[in-house]
Structure 1
Amino acid sequence: MSADPKVLRRQAAGGVFCIIPYNHPDFAWTHHREWHEERYAVSTAEALDLMRECPEFRFCVEPWIDHIEPFLERCPDRIEELRKRLNSGQMGVKAFTLTSPRPATCADETFLRNMILGRRRYREFAPKADLSVMACPDVAIGHSQMPQVVRLAGARLYRGWRSDSAFNYLKIPREFIWRGLDGTELITSRGTYGGLVSTASVPDDVAGCKMPEDMEASWEETVARLFATELFRAMECSHAKTWWVSQGMDDVRPLRSCVTDKVLPIIELVRLWNEREASRMVLATPNEFRARIEKEKLPVWDGVIDQVDVAYNSGWHGRRGLWRLRQELDAAAVIAERACALARLQGGKGVADCARLEALWVEVVRAASHALQWIFEKDWEWLNSKARNTLRELREETAKAVTVLFGTGRTCAETGRPLVLFNPLPYPRDELVEVPWVQPRLDVGGHRVWDADGNEVALQLGELVGESWGGRIVEAPLVFAAQVPALGCAVYRVGDAPVAERPAPPPKDTLENGALRLRVGGRGLQEVMDLASGLKWRAPLASCIGDCRLHEMGPGVLHVGPITGELSGQTGQGKWVLAGPCRWVYRWECAFHGQRVRQDVIVDKDARYIDFVTRVFCPGANGFFALCFDLPFRGKLDVDIPFGVEPRNLEDEVYASTLPEGFQNIERHRDHQFWARSWASVSDGKRGVALITVDGDKYWTYDPATGRLRHILFTPLNDAESGWEAWVTKDRLALGWHEFRHRLVFHDGDWKAADLCGASDRVRLPLQVVKPLGARGKRAAPAVSGLQVTPESVRLSAFHEVPGGFVLRVYESKGETAKVRVELPCAFSRAVRTDFNLEPVKEKVKLADRALTLTLRRWEIATVLLTR
């Protein structure tokens, strides 16, 4: 498209520019939260004033918690007025959410509950409000399941943004039909949320009621400037004749300039434009834009849009960062509601009901909003303490539900202590577990474990913890193979036994576990051979397989600068911590430039994977730490995303260095970056290697030319002593110890053959350990059991109680049509397919007593409402 204002003016003839006034709300940005709350109350109140004065004026709001609640709390006398404007449509809703998370990096159910609960708040407050638009402003546009996810949430149009410069380079249309992984199509619009917020764009001299002859030149200058800037950005890559033009910015008051709060003659500009130009301008809400654009014929974009996301979020604050806490909260919430649903189906007392769990979900979502890594210390402490308390409460609700469900308790007369393992997945599990355990009788020694049938289970003691009291076992994990039914529990008992003699370490630091042969040394994992495929992999000189390296950075946009150095230890020292017969652990350590890296290389019997636990002590740095793998072969790169899998074709990707400088090019300042939900797999078709991050962030790099795969662990930054960032939490320095867990998987074929989605679920939703206390209760009634889904390529996203029933949500994860059978925990009388809001959809299910059957197309997400 030509950037010549004269050409654009001719092309715009007959088209409509929808001017959409908007105040973008953050939880906080460059100020304390209190300022934002007061600002949003003022902004919304002034928008209501303008609506009284000018019927054609429009405004829009979005996240309920961040945007609406401050107004309701500070302007209770105007609540009914806001309700009236929302119901009438004069006040639009840009995103019916609680907060504004990043779609690519937000945990799966957290993203859904944000829309579900936010939409419910809006619908209860203003039943006639138009909730047909969903937006993720100020963040990357998201993944190829967004069309399905957004449609199921009730929207008909999606608005996204970043990275505008890269998407223009890649010729992604401005407005288009986005066809997602499963084939769902959704009208999508992309572009900035900011614009028309300065006198440079909207000069004072358009404020006159008429346009005198001597101001004709001034008008022409204004029009040319608008077509060269704001209107060009709206029209670039567009195939439509309706264009979204944002009017507003972060924290702006309605129709005022950014920073100075100067009144801008926007309404006069629109009036004069319509008198003088061949195109039209209208003040509009996002919902009115949707009504116009869906009448046009739009191009179709199939599949993946954004492989990169943004570079300025990678592991901020290290292990204390919100990125990890958000993952822990999501996992704890979905596990808690599954356990509570089973217990309440049994009629268990004292188990959290749906109202209690929904309140906890609100707190999970509260912590998911974007840009929170930049909030000030006082707000950081408040948000963190609230979120961590929520995490504790969710885990306690799980323990209570499991204890009630299986009636376990404690008595002094019993032989052994009870140990319950709860499986949060809908498939039986037979896997090695490591359970923290203590021995209060120092004269006894070790332990033995029995299953529910009284059979003794082979046991290995893990690494001793704490003081050993002269060599006696006081605290040591129990390592044994556990069998646990689908979404159910297995009860074991632990008693006293003599201490077993520990095996000798493997000779020459070489181990064969039945599936892999590997060699370790003082510098970590040096060599591994996959016995099934014959693949041999050797570490680079003075390095290791899975090396933790510091990549120092120079200054850059939002603290993402060029890499100025890549550092790691040249030598190290190691020792065997465990030497079988079930699990082997080799621990090595190195130091460089004041940094310390300590890594456990963990190998399980007969396992075709290697686990890494990497600990980093950071006394300060400016850069990022990454776990690095120089792969032994090249191949196709695939990754998981929320509810699906996408390819990563980075040879065709564009990064900041090849794009024009400017505020639309701040996202991609790290070459070779990509994002993934939890795993990345490289396969040549016959064999593959995959890395699963158990608890890490979403950002990776891969250089197809060298075969180097890096998972970015965390980003320590220099302290800021001036400017607004001086008030940002000092956790950004990422000082102290940080820990990260990974699983390196060797597999045949591609990611499908390796069942990587299932492998990720198993390490990220592990068996839950419950050590019951108190009096023994009544065990679950025979009519209530667990829940099992077949085939295992169909994943369970949610199972929880709602008023009047229970919600089951599953999705197909292999890219193939699936005939699904769900063995329910008890008999239900009715099952209905619904959208996320529990509104019925046309697709049907079959229910026969405790068996539910349905068919899923490739990548389809299905929600079913079950009633008893």
Structure 2
Amino acid sequence: MSRAPRADRRSPEAPVANAAFGRQPAPPRPVRPLAAPARTLHMVGNAHLDPVWLWPWQEGYQEARATFWSAIHRMDEYPDFVFTCDQVVLLSWVEESDPELFERIRRRVAEGRWQMVGGWWVEPDCNLPMGESFVRQGLYGQRYLKEKLGVIATVGMNADPFGHNGMLPQILRGQGMDSYCFLRPGPHENSLDATAFWWESPDGSRVLGYRIPFEYCSAPGDVAGQADKALGTLDRDLGDVMVFYGVGNHGGGPTRANIDSIHRYDRMGTFGAMTMSSPRRYFDELAARLGADGLEDLPVWRTDLQLHAAGCYSAHSGIKLWQRRAQAAVLNAERWAAVGALAFGLDYPREDLGRAWKQILFNQFHDVLPGSAIEPAYEDARDQLGEAVAISKRIITRTHNVIARQVEIPLEDGTQPVLVFNPHPWRVVTAVELQYGSQPQGIHVVDGDGGLVLSQRVQSVATTNDQGRHATVLEADVPPLGFRLYRLRPGAAPWGAVRTGRPPGVLRASETVLENDLLRVEVDPGTGWLTSLLDKRSGVDLLAGAAGPHTQVCQDPTDTWGHHVVSYAWPGDEMRTVRVLLRESGPLRARLRVEREWGRSTMVEELVLGHADDYLEVQVTIDWREQAHLLKMRFPVGITDPTATYEIPFGSTTRPVDAGEHPGQSWVDVTGEVQGRRAGLAVVNDAKHGYDVSPASAEASASIGITALRSPVYSWHDPRALDPDGIYSFQDQGIQRFRYRLVPHDGDWRTAGLSRRAAELGSPVRAMLESFHPGPLPDRQSYASDGGGAVMVTAVKGSEDVPDGAAADLVVRAVETTGSPTRARIELPLVGRVVEADLGPSQIRTFRLPADGGPMVEVDLVEWPLAETPAAPADVLPLAPAVEGVESTGPTPDDSDAPNPAELEARDAEGRDGS
């Protein structure tokens, strides 16, 4: 039997269920259930983008554009969506490659939906760059944001770096930021329990810190897992929290699925209220909710935020050395550029210096400088940092030649004038090596007044048939940020010549002893290392009773980052000493060469002691051929009850003597007692950052350790296992060179001038051969001096804000280095001024002195006038200005035709033959 067709019996449209899946209604949202938790999750949409890591920077360049277009499109689709962005370099890439996108971003910034945080050029490693680099991250980042977008970042953010030095709060506040977001270290990696807290620098500066719970990025789909894990990680007492979401690392940002799920869970009330937000909104609402008293009750953290990925302090020795070299070079170039502009009328090369700095800042990114990127990334880094050094050298060489041609150098046949330039704003007395030619009878050295200067012949770097090429080392005494004239005169010094400079001390040297009037160093010919380091000033032998190896080689199975490592103070083999050779022994210095080997690798240490040095310098060359091995250089001491102090950017910090691997800048100090007397030993170096200070054990004395190198596979991340049959590239293969100095002191490292010693080691004085000519300048000149005390001038530069056509103003930055309040006196002959100012413990102050002689202005770290009058205003006093240059002071015809020593010798020979 057939049936008639049935009528349409579809159910009428019913409301969509309040569920996590299926079609969802669009906002406005229904009221949440009363059962929803009484809290708000501020959902921070971001796209953490590593511009270089497992990919080259060129790929990051493209991904920034793709990610930012995605964020703009999500804003078009979701009226409540807010995007949070940091790392200014990404914006600069977009500006130069996609003007349409940049204009869209600019409009969204003005609307308030594109939020800028961080304010720095990149998210750098936050331990290894020097203090001035952290200043420049904000100088270039904040100024770019202000110029291009009309805003600055008021919230600092370094989501991904592996640790954060304790001076950052003062630096952030000086750049206009009052709060700070970060992820690492996590709750399992240090004793900080709070999610929100006050982070305080030694000077008392504070920022409101927030440790991002769980992660800074998320999967591309539902955010429930992100919210669950974040809520499981955070401090429960906090109430409202920030949860970061969005596809990251290789960029991507928030997806439609992310945003739709936030809307669903907000309506369901699963986690409480969920709102599209930003760090700035969160911090403002937190302050309003807690009130002044509640904010004051938050816990206070007063030291570094460490530690995570301890292997990154030593991974890839090359990038560490290149960075140190580039930072020193550009700071040197800034100083001489300021001298050239203000004293000699040169254009201040602001654009060139900015380009150099941006290459340096980019390569401080937290997967480049820590050594955790792929191998090709370091080819780019080498080239980019090489560009920064090349720019700096051109600026320095130009300025030095402009100065040199205006120094009064009277004609003296047969001599070779030499100018020595000191880049540091304090007096430097140091040995200077100089290559020269056309002096077949050898030379002696005099200063501008004709006084004999201590020198000795050394091996030339040239190995040719040209018998005229020689080398000397002379002791130069150069005024602060200035120059001094010397001359090479032919032949040995005349009998009875009047000496100048430091009186020559007694210097004895053999294959087992180096000794001057201040130090006595004894070397074990079997190990090649010290058995005694006697400080004659105090009578304390720093190595009395010390025992333990100087070199330790061990297998290192840890990944590139050193995940899960807390210490590299592992037992290891000593390298075998194969030769000890006395290479130099003269009146100025002695040099003892120690050669070692292990496996296929070699290490040479040349121990150098000057006639009046209060330190022992060691010049190291390593040819490393081991894979997945580690070399720790150890310095056993006879010190009991030791205290360990590490240099950090712009300051210092005390850490436990527990053999833990810690980051540091250029020096580590151990102070305690030696046979009942206070004493200490510091190790200062120019290339390394991974240290430990180990306590005494049954087998060895207390010691300082430097992780000289590690050789893991490039960018190998635990828990991935390496294939036993795989082909991999290992770090730190081949030759590397660095230097360190052993500095004994009387038990107070503050009296040893360690940061200045480090600066001199990393940025030596420069000597240049010159010609004869008249000129207005004297034979020595200083342009800036900080007096060499507790306050150290770290920057002398031209100002960033200068009207078109105007000369650069002078910007000077000073830092208190000992942790105690003091009064500074900064003499600036360059502008005819003296600045006197009080500085608190570890305080940073920056002064701008107009080129036209106008009133001095104290500025922040972005070089904008301080918003508030400082509690301790600085005084400005007049000072006799340095002699300025003139339009032209070329050589006379006789000066330019002066005979050289070889010609004079030939004339003398002709005369003898003719007679």
Change (3 A) 1:572 1:542: farther
- The AA in structure 2 aligned to 1:739 is R
Please report the TM-score for the alignment, with normalisation by the length of structure 2.
0.78
Pick one of 389, 402, 409 that aligns with 2:400.
Answer: 402
1:150 aligns with 2:172: yes
- Code of the aligned partner of 1:135: M
* In structure 1, C-alpha distance between the alignment counterparts of 2:578 and 2:733, rounded to whole Å: 22
Q: Distance in 2 between matches of 1:156 and 1:608?
A: 44
* TM-superposed deviation, 1:329: 1.0
**Structure 1: gaps (5+ residues):** 1-8, 203-221, 257-262, 652-670, 853-868
The equivalent residue for 2:275 is: 282
* Mean CA deviation greater in 398-407 or 574-583: 398-407
Residue 106 of structure 1 corresponds to which residue in structure 2? 129
Q: For 1:542-691, what aligned pairs fall within 5 Å after superposition?
A: 547-556=550-559, 558=561, 566-634=572-640, 635-651=642-658, 672-684=660-672, 686-691=677-682
Give, in whole Å, the separation in 2 of the partners of 1:390 and 1:490.
Answer: 27
Q: Which amino acid aligns with 2:153?
A: L
CA distance in 1, matches of 2:577, 2:746: 34
CA contact (8 A) 2:559 2:713 kept: no
Quick one: structure 1 residues 589 and 771, their matched pair in 2 at CA, closer, same or farther if it must change by over 3 Å? Answer: same
1:484 aligns with 2:478: yes
- 1:272: how far off? 3.3
2:896 equivalent in structure 1: none
Matched, 1:810 2:809: no
Q: In the aligned structure 1, how far is the partner of 2:786 from the partner of 2:543?
A: 40
Is the 1:683–1:750 contact (alpha carbons within 8 Å) kept by the matching residues of 2? yes
Looking at structure 2, the residues matched to 105 and 504 of structure 1 have their Cα atoms a distance apart, in angstroms, of: 38
CA deviation string 1:542-599 (max 9, x = no partner): 976xx23323212447456877861222443111011132211110112121111111
Deviation at 1:515, TM superposition (A): 1.7
Distance 2:511 2:683 in 1: 29
**Residues 106-140 of structure 1: CA distance to partner in whole angstroms, max 9, x if unpaired?**
1221221111111111111110x351111122113
Tell me which residue corresponds to 1:335.
Answer: 332
TM-superposed deviation, 1:394: 0.4
- 1:743 maps to 741
The 3 A distance-change label for structure 1 pair 540 and 621 is: farther
Deviation at 1:174, TM superposition (A): 1.3
Cα offset, 1:197, TM superposition: 2.4
State the match for 2:360 in structure 1: 364
| Shift in alpha-carbon separation, 1:737–1:200, aligned structure 2, 3 A | same
Secondary structure of the equivalent of 1:711?
A: strand
Q: CA deviation at 1:105?
A: 0.7
Q: Percent identity at matched positions? A: 19
CA distance in 2, matches of 1:649, 1:764: 27
Structure 1 distance, partners of 2:475, 2:34, is 73
CA distance 1:517–1:612, change in 2 (3 Å): same
User: Would the alpha carbon gap of residues 82 and 280 (structure 1) be closer, same or farther in structure 2, given more than 3 Å must change?
Assistant: same
1:231 aligns with 2:231: yes
Residues 362-401 of structure 1 aligned to structure 2 (within 5 Å): 362-372=358-368, 373-376=371-374, 378-401=376-399
Match of 1:834 among 851, 855, 859: 859
Distance 2:715 2:645 in 1: 38
* 1:420 paired residue number: 419
Are residues 696 and 195 of structure 1, via their aligned partners in 2, closer, same or farther at CA, if it must alter by over 3 Å? closer
Aligned-residue RMSD, C-alpha:
3.5
Structure 1 pair 387–626 and aligned structure 2 pair: CA distance change class (3 A): same
Aligned match of 1:664? none
Cα offset, 1:523, TM superposition:
2.6
State the SS of the aligned residue for 2:761. Answer: helix
Alignment match of 1:702 (pick from 678, 686, 693): 693
Q: Is the 8 A contact 2:694 2:705 kept in 1?
A: no
Residue 838 of structure 1 and its aligned partner are, at CA, apart by 2.2
The C-alpha deviation readout for 1:137-193, integer Å capped at 9, x for no partner, is 2113412211110000111111222211445x5134211111210011111112268
**Counterpart contact for 2:685–2:740, Cα < 8 Å:** yes
Structure 1 pair 192/415, CA: closer, same or farther in 2 (3 Å)? farther
2: CA distance between counterparts of 1:746 and 1:148?
A: 31
Output one character per residue of 1:387-441: Cα deviation in whole Å (capped at 9) or x when no partner. Answer: 2132022023112212212435899975422222222222223x23122312334
1:269 matched residue in structure 2: 262
| Deviation of 1:74 (Å) | 4.3
Residues 406 and 588 (structure 1), Cα distance of their counterparts in 2 relative to 1, 3 Å cut: same
Alpha-carbon spacing, 1:645–1:379, altered in 2? closer, same or farther (3 Å)? closer
Letter in 2 for 1:714: L
Indicate the residue corresponding to 1:865 in structure 2.
Answer: none
Contact 2:687 2:739 in 1 (8 A): yes
Structure 2 counterpart of 1:251: 250
CA separation of 1:198 and 1:346: change in aligned 2, threshold 3 A: closer
CA contact (8 A) 2:55 2:377 kept: no
Structure 1 residues 840, 393: CA separation in 2 closer, same or farther (over 3 Å shift)? closer
Identify the residue that residue 534 of structure 1 maps to in structure 2.
Answer: 539
Whole-angstrom CA distance in 2 between matches of 1:12 and 1:848: 66
Letter aligned with residue 334 of structure 2: E
Cα contact 1:314–1:715 (8 A) shared by 2: no
1: distance between equivalents of 2:493 and 2:308?
A: 52
Give the gaps of 5 or more residues in structure 2. 1-32, 496-505, 803-807, 833-852, 882-915
Give the direction of change, closer, same or farther, for the CA distance of 1:69–1:440 in structure 2 (3 Å limit). Answer: same
1:713 offset after TM fit, Å? Answer: 1.6
TM-score, length of structure 1 as denominator length: 0.83
Q: CA offsets per residue over residues 596-623 of structure 1, 9 Å max, x none?
A: 1111111122333111112111123212
Output aligned runs, 1:430-469, within 5 Å: 431-441=429-439, 444-467=440-463
Equivalenced residues, count: 780
Q: From the superposition, tell whether residues 140 and 265 of structure 1 become closer, same or farther in structure 2 (CA, over 3 Å).
A: closer
The separation in 2 between residues aligned to 1:850 and 1:829, in whole angstroms, is: 15
Q: Which amino acid aligns with 1:551?
A: C
Local SS of the residue matching 1:293: helix
Residue-by-residue CA offset, 1:804-827 (whole Å, 9 max, x unaligned): 522111111111212222211223
1:524 partner SS? coil
Work out which of the residue numbers 183, 188, 197 in structure 2 matches 1:161: 183
